[in-house]
Amino acid sequence: MSYSAPGRVPGTTPTRHDRTELEWTELARTAHADAWEQHGRLRADAGGAVGELPGVRLMASGLPHAQWNNGDVTDPDLVDVEAVRAWYARRDAPWGLRVPAGAPWPHGRLLFRKRLMLLHAADLVPAPAVPGLVVRAATPADLDVVARVDAIAFDGDAEVEAAWMRPLLASDRGTVALAELDGRPVGTASCLRTDGRAGPAAYLAGVAVLPDARRRGVAAAVSGWLLTRAAAAGARVAHLHPDTDAAARVYARLGFTEVGGLDVYVDVA
């Protein structure tokens, strides 16, 4: 059974109501794979790479962390797992695979189900203003601040996060937002624009808010700011993956619809 996304019609991106639920899900999965392919291309100077084998699109980031080296399975019946293993072995990269949620997949260990949400750019609902909040595009000079906010918000490592964010800050395809509340950095997020098989799209990710600034609308405001810029730059759809029900509710208020997700497998070979 094929899980490949339908072919793109150049210059068109039908609205949510023009598509079936399955088509909307396939569009989200294809846009997600486009975004990760773009991440691999952004990092070509530091060991990043992209590739394609039967039934799977591959990317590597050049970083030694499995969450940033992944393949997106488009047709489980066609994938040669040994060939995928060899592709990543040549790059000495830990890796995993994302498979359409619920698709039969006998290889490796299911780590978790990655939820996906999709928005037609024209359906974006403006976020309420937050008194005292200023959102701006971060520059390479802001790398340490952005990485620190992200690490605190997600209980991560600032040095590791900085290595991931550095290419985004330098790319004309990516925008990293820095949110300051009453002059203090409290939030960040990124948006990566792609124009691949899903058409012009925007990938919203890394929406991070410091604990003492949460529940004040900062996440929605930062997300809305990035999405508005992406739409103005030509993105017709936006997509993301909420980590929690609370996050999904924030994005639903912005107009996102949850669609079928991806099953993430590790220890595949």
List pLDDT tens digits, range 47-87: 999 999 999 999 999 999 999 999 999 999 999 999 999 99
Is residue 164 assigned to a domain?
Answer: yes
Helix (H, G, I), strand (E, B) or coil at 206: strand
Q: What does the pLDDT look like over 76-112, one tens digit per residue?
A: 999 999 999 999 999 999 999 999 999 999 999 999 9
- Tell me: pLDDT of 1 over 60: no
Please tell me whether residues 107 and 135 are part of one structural domain.
no
Please tell me whether residues 136 and 181 are part of one structural domain.
yes
pLDDT of residue 13: 46
Domain that holds residue 250: 120-259
Please tell me whether residues 100 and 157 are part of one structural domain.
no
Q: What does the pLDDT look like over 6-45, one tens digit per residue?
A: 333 334 444 555 568 899 999 999 999 999 999 999 999 9
The one-letter amino acid code at 139 reads T
Residues 6+ apart with CB under 8 A from 223: 127, 189, 204, 207, 250, 251, 254
Domains of the chain: total: 2
Please tell me whether residues 95 and 225 are part of one structural domain.
no
Domain boundary among 86, 115, 144: 115
Domain boundary among 96, 115, 134: 115
Is residue 142 assigned to a domain?
Answer: yes
Please tell me whether residues 234 and 194 are part of one structural domain.
yes
Please tell me whether residues 62 and 90 are part of one structural domain.
yes
